[in-house]
Chain A
Amino acid sequence: MKISLFIPCFIDLCFPKVGISMVRILEKLGHEVECPEAPACCGQPAFNTGYWDESRDTAIKVIEQYKDAEVVVIASGSCGAMMNVFYPELFAQTRHAEAAKAMAAKCFEFSSFLVNRLGVSDLGARFPARVTFHDGCHGLRELKIKREPRVLMEKVKGLELVEMDAAEVCCGFGGTFSAKFPMISTAMGEVKCDSALKTDAEYIVSNDSSCLMHIQGLLDRRGSKLKTIHLAEILAQS
């Protein structure tokens, strides 16, 4: 299958290994991967801040760029939710309404794509560590992804998954929310870190780097040894 990858801005800039791991995994499974270099953003920051016109300026580019793609795999549950759930709303009653719906229908978050579309669970990965999983809210509640990452982790040799209390509670990132209300965002993140630390895990795993960026930022400030890692990076280890 020819797979078009969408690499969100923050993964491109700060977490390229996540994207690289995805390319390697998909190619190993025998698929052809293409990744348009622009646009770099799905338009979510403007959308979430209330500037839908400006959000459409970027989102239109995404829709045009991926118009002919067979499937689009997105390296983040949050951007996945934007394209999957919110594009149809953003473009409702515009001349791009149909294109937005068509786009939404072929978008997949990475873990969901592997499990639900490709029917793959065992990637032959090895990652000997005790980990806990954080469910990113957009992936969990907008895209209903809960089982998929766990199905994939179960097959990773040496990996021990310990669920934390309140795994489904938000980490407090929330995009521009983290800068608009930094103290609320921080308090939420601290609650998250505390429940992750209680598991004695070495890693917090997630399928969303944006949450992990927030959690890692808090952990580093605390000087904690707990590390964060994206699921794709684990699945690419052998």
Chain B
Amino acid sequence: MNAIAQQFKDQATRMTRDLHHRELIQTALGKYAVKRDEKIALFQDWQGARQRASEIKWNAVNHLDEYLVEFTKKLEARGTVVHWAGTAAQARGIITGIVKEKKARLVIKSKSMTSEEIHLNEALEKEGVEVVESDLGEFIVQLRHEAPYHIVFPAMHLTRGDISELFSRELKSAPTDSPEELTIIARRVLRQKYVKADVGITGANFAIAETGMISITENEGNARLTAALPRVMITLIGLEKVLPKLEDLALFLPMLATVGAAQAISGYNTLYGGPRQEGEADGPEEFHVVLLDNQRVAFLADAEQRDALHCIRCGACLNVCPVYRNVGGHAYGTTYCGPIGAVITPHLRGLKDWKHLSYASSLCGACTEGCPVKINLHHHLLQTRRNSGSENPVWWQKIAFKLFAPVANVRFFWAMATRLGRVGQRFHPLVKGTRLDPARAWTKTRETPKLAPQSFKEWWRQRK
């Protein structure tokens, strides 16, 4: 097991023992599931909507070459500067370059998982720039020097008490149990930052090719302030986020709100089409859009799994995943956690280092069932295991399965194995739970099933 896999296993094991965490997450996501289902019921035909969404995304992802060009042309026509970044390093270089050119001291950001993917904050801070996250959850985890715990709910793992304590320590505010008061405390800090910031950086939920617009959906209004107040606006977006038509949002915005946050529609839905135009009263003087590849185009070559590029980062698969619900978002040790993370991370960061995530699944399929754009997530995990098994087989496992085949296939061998198993079972109590126990992974927490004195096949033979 490589170091990354070992770290995942250690972290996951630690989290599964944390019963406070278990209770907190199970309760929060249990409530989410009830509300999500209420909102799903508002759709006339939810399964039809999923089908349509997956078709739109399929078309978009399979014609990226056309839609991205259309998107770029339309944006540029209104004075936006579009940058193409092949790698994370290039994207960081482009953004820090703009920030340095503007001699910016303070950057305000709205929520962007893509910026987490390229580790943008660290890069900016290294240049001596102060970076402030303006999404409340992101603001909280930034104060804790933590990565987001969840794609949509970055601070879901914290209680009101934890946040109050954090604010008291970091912002010197009076302790409070009221969510409203906690929000006001953050708001007071953030309002100052919006006004002082030289550059605003946002992510994006969708890129509309037809009109050359960025769609951002949010509940706090922080992305609007991030986009509107600073002189320069930069939007970082993964190039798979493109949608062909403006009308596609009529499906995708309510869909994202429904499964993402159990809302019919998010509080603020904004389209950004360029910098301040002549005669307009507000908006940034400069608007830069950074389109990020970072292995996405290479991912397209995988015909089996390319539908993972349909992902709208709603977090629905995390919310229903019993593994995620027990190990939490930080255990994964990478930007995208949960089932979607287990599928895309081997593509984004390498199969050899990240294959373990595909094995850390019972393959229950709750993710696939919950995915609004119908990504076949759990079957992709099986394919990742297959790719890993053929590229980097674990030799003892391969040999074990090779030897198992004749045992299972030949009646005589199976009968022998059955008898041998009974002998083994008689001696098992001597080593049970010790280091010598071959079934230790099981017996540490579970009793072993007993081999029946007469197996089914022995019964069948006797009966005949």
Contact = CB atoms under 8 A, between A and B. Distances in A.
Interface stretch (B126-134, B272-280, B383-391): B383-391
Given A7-B457, A214-B446, A181 B12 contact: yes
Contacts, number: 202
Given A51-B398, A191-B322, A191-B326, A180 B445 contact: no
Interface string A14-41: 1111111001000000000001011111
A184 B363 contact: no
A48 B364 contact: no
A188 B409 contact: no
B426 interface: no
B46 interface: no
A37 B12 CA distance: 41
B362 A218 contact: no
Given A20-B459, A169-B366, A50 B388 contact: yes
Contacts of B455: 12-13, 16
A170 B13 contact: no
A40 B414 CA distance: 7
Interface residues of A, number: 71
Given A37-B457, A182-B441, A169 B16 contact: no
Nearest to B304: A89
Given A38-B408, A217-B449, A13 B460 contact: no
A16 B454 contact: yes
Given A181-B359, A182-B444, A170 B366 contact: yes
Interface residues of B, number: 64
A138 to B, nearest CB: 8
B427 interface: no
Given A45-B401, A169-B366, A16 B411 contact: no
A9 B365 CA distance: 23
A185 B449 CA distance: 16
Contacts of A214: 446
Interface in A147-184: 165-166, 168-170, 172-184
Interface string B127-170: 00000000000000000000000000000000000000000000
A220 interface: yes
A38 B447 contact: no
A187 interface: yes
Given A141-B364, A184-B323, A187-B16, A179 B442 contact: yes
B386 A52 contact: yes
Contact of A170 (B322, B393, B398): B322
B398 A7 contact: no
Contacts of B323: 184, 188
Contacts of A184: 12-13, 16, 323, 326-327, 360
A172 B456 CA distance: 26
B362 A177 contact: yes
Nearest to B355: A50
Given A51-B393, A61-B409, A191 B404 contact: no
A3 interface: no
B281 interface: no
B451 A13 contact: yes
Interface of A: 7, 9-20, 23, 35, 37-41, 45-55, 57-58, 61, 86, 137-138, 140-142, 165-166, 168-170, 172-189, 191, 213-214, 216-218, 220-221
